[in-house]
């Protein structure tokens, strides 16, 4: 008898519905599995056989063949244990085929029949809903993740026997004994979106640094922070998510799919409702940053999608690892090619890099710094030109004075008030670029700069003088106009003025480090 059960798999972050077909027939007793399977899936037959035995089901000496169709899609992970077991039970006559119609099954089986957490449930639920399936059965630990998608019934069950009992009930009995899992999406976003234990009000002094962070958040500009140890660079970076606009439901799904595939969604319970923040150690490998393995999983770059990637002491990162950032900074996605196929992961993040001004960290304080001019230039010069080319704002932060520490917390603007200003500026950009692929000022091409960054004649003269005196490049010229456009948006001004240009020029830091 041939039986059919629906399951799902993930390739990259794209999901596919998989049909698990099982045939039992007389012949030499075997248990064969086919369908382009990796080792985790092949091992499922041992988990399924022992789990069924320990739950009172007897498997007669038959020739058992399991096919995971379509056979040209690679299957990995442990999520097929449950559908294979259910399909086998149908083929053996223990469960009726009609009880599994319009249902998708996912779950790893323990040897005692326990259903265990699996990766990649969220994108599969989205695909199942798209294809018109009515319900999905997942391990209880995955139930809140799956329930974030409306329009499909989610049942979180804890064991194989529970699934068998569920399938044996009539539909009205199922609802009474096993009500579908539901979550209040609006309440989830409302109660956890800004549940942070840090705030910009914690940072004393450093007005220029905080101002640069606000401009960066408003226009989605990448930032380089330069300053001596202990001046607040890391503090400011950690607080960037607290001033970014809230994630929309669509953005949350994008981020949550990445975390689901990686298996990290478990610690969040359901959807990711806060902006991601990742700060890898400088010893991170290329594969960990970009995503690695024969079937690559998302790396730190993709896990920072729609959020912040902070590189502390950026010059100490491996040069090859840093160069991986070039594609995602430009294309807002990362493409990884392996023998298993080509994988594309979204990687639209804000880069914040922090470095000391010199090897000892105390330049320009010549009472403490003994580094030569060449050492100073070469130190930050470890960041390649293509990476620096994508950084719009460079800000130098001074060491904290004693008076700032003594008056800590006094009159410091908190994250909530800064966020309101940033949301207003973002709304201006949204209206400006409506109908365009561009969303932020930082993404403007030369054509958009010419259209939206027009200057009065006097302001044009001012910028021309600065361009010549500071020996700026054409690249720096366009960066200045992008940043000035964001500063003007924060001021609610339609036209860029001399004051906006002067502040934007300040974030070029002259020729001391870079242009």
Which burial class, exposed, middle or buried, applies to 434 when counting CB atoms under 10 A from its CB (0-12, 13-18, 19+)? Answer: exposed
What does the domain layout of the chain look like in residue ranges?
Answer: 2-183, 197-400, 436-515
Position 407 scores a pLDDT of 60
Which phi and psi angles does 115 have, rounded to 5°?
-90, 125
> 461: which 2 tokens?
């003269």
* Consecutive H or E run containing 121: helix 121-130
Task: Tell me the CATH number for domain 436-515.
Answer: 1.10.8
DSSP calls for 164-229: HHHHHS-HHHHHHHSPPP---HHHHHHHHTT--S--GGGS-S-HHHHHHHHHHHHHT--EEEE--T
Decide if 480 contacts 470 (C-beta within 8 A).
Answer: no
Q: Residue 457: which H helix or E strand, with range?
A: helix 457-469
Write out the E strands in 26-106. Answer: 30-34, 63-69, 103-105
Give the Cα separation of 39 and 469 in Å (integer): 64
Supply 400's token pair.
């904290």
Q: What three-state secondary structure class fits 5?
A: strand
Task: Report pLDDT for 515.
Answer: 41
Tally Cβ neighbours within 10 Å of residue 448: 17
3-state SS, residue 268 = helix
* Whether the Cβ atoms of residue 142 and residue 264 lie closer than 8 Å to each other: no
Helix (H) or strand (E) holding 303: helix 300-303
* Encoded tokens for 68: 């995971």
Q: Residue 427, SS3?
A: helix
Query: Cβ(265)–Cβ(117) under 8 Å?
Result: no
3-state secondary structure (DSSP) of residue 344: strand
Query: What are residue 10's DSSP bridge partners?
Result: 15
Q: How far apart are CA 163 and CA 146, in angstroms?
A: 17
Shortest CA distance to 325 belongs to which of 294, 355, 343, 299? 299
The answer to whether domain 2-183 and domain 436-515 are alike in fold is no
- Per-residue pLDDT reduced to its tens digit, 263-302: 999 888 788 999 999 999 999 999 899 987 777 889 999 9
| Planar angle of CA 498, 504, 506, nearest 5 degrees | 105
- Number of residues assigned to the chain: 515
For β-strands 14-25 and 2-11, DSSP reports them as antiparallel
Residues of the chain with pLDDT under 70: 340, 401-411, 509-515
Q: How far is CA 421 from the centre of its chain?
A: 25
Q: Are 49 and 31 in contact (CB under 8 A)?
A: yes
pLDDT at 511: 41
Query: What is the CATH number that goes with domain 197-400?
Result: 3.40.50.300
Determine the Cα–Cα distance for residues 354 and 232; give it in Å rounded to an integer. Answer: 10
CATH of 2-183 given 3.90.245.10, 3.90.226.10, 3.30.70.20, 3.30.230.10: 3.30.230.10
Give the model's pLDDT for residue 408: 56
pLDDT of residue 296: 80
Element spanning 337, H or E: strand 333-338
């Amino acid at each position: 008898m041939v039986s059919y059960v629906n399951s799902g798999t993930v390739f990259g972050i794209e999901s596919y519905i998989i049909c698990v077909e099982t045939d039992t027939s007389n012949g030499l007793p075997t248990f064969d599995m086919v369908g382009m399977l990796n080792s985790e899936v092949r091992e499922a037959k041992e988990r399924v056989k022992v789990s069924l035995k320990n739950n009172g089901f007897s498997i007669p000496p038959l020739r058992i063949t399991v096919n995971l169709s379509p056979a040209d899609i690679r299957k990995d992970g442990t999520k097929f244990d449950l559908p294979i077991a259910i399909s086998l039970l149908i083929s053996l006559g223990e469960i009726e085929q009609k009880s599994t119609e319009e249902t998708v099954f996912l779950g790893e089986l323990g040897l005692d029949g326990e259903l265990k957490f699996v990766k990649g449930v969220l994108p599969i639920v989205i695909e199942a809903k798209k294809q018109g399936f009515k319900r999905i059965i997942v391990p209880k630990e995955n139930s809140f993740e799956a329930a974030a998608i409306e329009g499909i019934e989610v049942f979180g069950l804890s064991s194989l026997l529970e699934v068998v009992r569920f399938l044996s009930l009539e539909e009205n009995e199922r609802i009474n004994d096993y009500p579908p899992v539901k979550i209040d999406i609006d309440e989830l976003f409302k109660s956890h979106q800004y549940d942070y234990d840090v705030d910009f009000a914690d940072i004393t002094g450093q007005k220029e640094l905080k101002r640069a962070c606000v401009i960066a958040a408003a226009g989605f500009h990448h930032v380089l922070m330069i300053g001596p140890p202990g001046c607040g660079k890391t503090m400011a970076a950690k607080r960037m998510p607290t001033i970014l606009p809230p994630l929309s439901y669509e953005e949350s799904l994008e981020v949550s799919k990445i975390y689901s595939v990686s298996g990290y969604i478990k610690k969040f319970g359901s959807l990711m409702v806060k902006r991601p923040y990742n700060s890898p150690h400088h010893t991170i490998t290329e594969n960990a940053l970009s995503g690695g393995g024969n079937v690559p999983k998302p790396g730190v770059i993709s896990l920072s999608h729609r959020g912040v990637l902070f590189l502390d002491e950026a010059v100490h990162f491996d040069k090859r690892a840093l160069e991986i950032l070039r594609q995602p900074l430009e294309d807002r996605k990362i493409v990884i090619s392996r023998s298993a196929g080509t994988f594309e992961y979204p990687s639209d993040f804000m880069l914040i890099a922090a470095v000391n001004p010199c090897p000892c960290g105390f330049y320009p304080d010549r009472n403490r710094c003994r580094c030569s001019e060449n050492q100073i230039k070469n130190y930050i010069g470890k960041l390649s030109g293509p990476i620096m080319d994508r950084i719009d704002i460079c800000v130098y932060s001074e060491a904290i004075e004693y008076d700032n520490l003594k008056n800590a917390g006094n009159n410091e603007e908190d994250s909530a008030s800064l966020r309101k200003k940033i949301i207003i500026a973002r709304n201006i950009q949204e209206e400006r670029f409506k109908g365009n692929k561009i969303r932020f000022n930082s993404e403007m091409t030369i054509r958009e700069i010419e259209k939206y960054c027009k200057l009065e004649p006097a302001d044009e003269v001012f910028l021309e003088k600065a361009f010549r005196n500071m020996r700026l490049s054409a690249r720096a010229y366009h960066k200045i106009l992008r940043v000035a456009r964001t500063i003007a948006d924060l001021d609610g001004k339609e036209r860029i003025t001399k004051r906006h240009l002067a502040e934007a020029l300040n974030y070029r830091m002259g020729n001391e480090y870079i242009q």
